[in-house]
Amino acid sequence: MRPQLLIIPGLLLFLFFNIWPIIYSIYISFTNANIRNFPPPPPWAPEELRQARQPPDYVGLSNYASIFAGPASAGFLGAVLWTLVFVILSVPAKVALGTFVGLLMSSDKVLGRSLMRALLIVPWALPLILSVVAWRYVFDPTYGVVNQWLYYLGVSKPPDWFVNKDYAYAAMVVIEAWLAYPFIMTVVIGALANVPRAAYEAAYIDGAGRWTIFSRITLPLIKRPLIYATVMTTAASLQFFLVAYLWNFIQLYDRFVLAYGFYWAFGSPFREYGLAAAVLTTSALIISVFMILAIRLTGLMRGMYES
């Protein structure tokens, strides 16, 4: 028996559970599938049901035209714009916070460093729904600690972080930074472990300050791992959905592109599955193009530490 035959069961499962849903979603995006005609009745269904519920019709590029120049274009383009704004706001916050904590946890002067590292990756280890529930309490309009601080600082009427769309969006930036900084921190700690101590000792002997050491020694030597982590977390931010869904989907569905596609599939009155598939397929293409360009421009395929 050839060893290659052993991978066939796993390959078939991969194709069935991963490739087939993608292909079928792309097919749906070229139809007028909605709650009235999808899914079509199976062949064994009664004849009257199959006659009354006709399968969806092929409509070509109509769904794609709708999201770029039709009734859904304003919502889709707005969701894309707000998603990019979210990336611009959240990614620098995640990278800066994760890098700072990683540098701090790599210092020999930190007492209980191993315990601190374990505690700092808690946001990464906790189930997402538990994290969102905790943050909902933090931002609670009446009892949350954020509004209590704002009240003591002189804000007579603190905002409602669930009902107001702009404040809910701002809360998403904070929560995303908290959820993702452990990943950046872990990458930075791992990269710093490979930085030669002799470089720091020579810099200290020459009288270099902390900023000079960071900008001239530390940052260049951890640049490639940090770029890799930044690209990965940017791709994750482009796919931001579940936290917004658990927070208040009705207020945020038009602020994130994946949430906008989910709205057309499960929130719109007639469940426009074809239009939703077109939105999500286009979103996947945008993210794929970003990943290809980011990998090529940053040279990540050349190796982690190659110049």
Residue 253: which CATH number?
1.10.3720.10
Residue 281 is part of which domain span?
A: 57-302
Assess if residue 125 is contained within a domain.
yes
Assess if residue 143 is contained within a domain.
yes
Q: How confident is the model at residue 302 (pLDDT cuts 50, 70, 90)?
A: low
Assess if residue 63 is contained within a domain.
yes
Predicted confidence at residue 27, as pLDDT, reads: 93
Which long-range CB contacts under 8 A does 109-113 form with residues at least 24 apart? none
* The token pair that represents 184 in the structure block: 């950046």
Assess if residue 27 is contained within a domain.
no
Please count the structural domains in the chain. 1
Rounded CA-CA distance 244/276 in Å is 18
Predicted confidence at residue 1, as pLDDT, reads: 57
Assess if residue 30 is contained within a domain.
no
Assess if residue 6 is contained within a domain.
no
Residue-wise pLDDT tens digits, 9-33: 887 887 788 888 889 999 999 999 9
Which long-range CB contacts under 8 A does 134-141 form with residues at least 24 apart? 135/171, 135/175, 135/178, 136/162, 136/247, 139/171
Assess if residue 86 is contained within a domain.
yes
User: If you average pLDDT over residues 149-163, what whole number do you get?
Assistant: 88
Residue-wise pLDDT tens digits, 226-277: 998 999 999 999 999 999 999 988 889 999 999 999 999 998 888 899 999 9
With residue 46 as reference, give the H or E element that holds it: none
Assess if residue 252 is contained within a domain.
yes
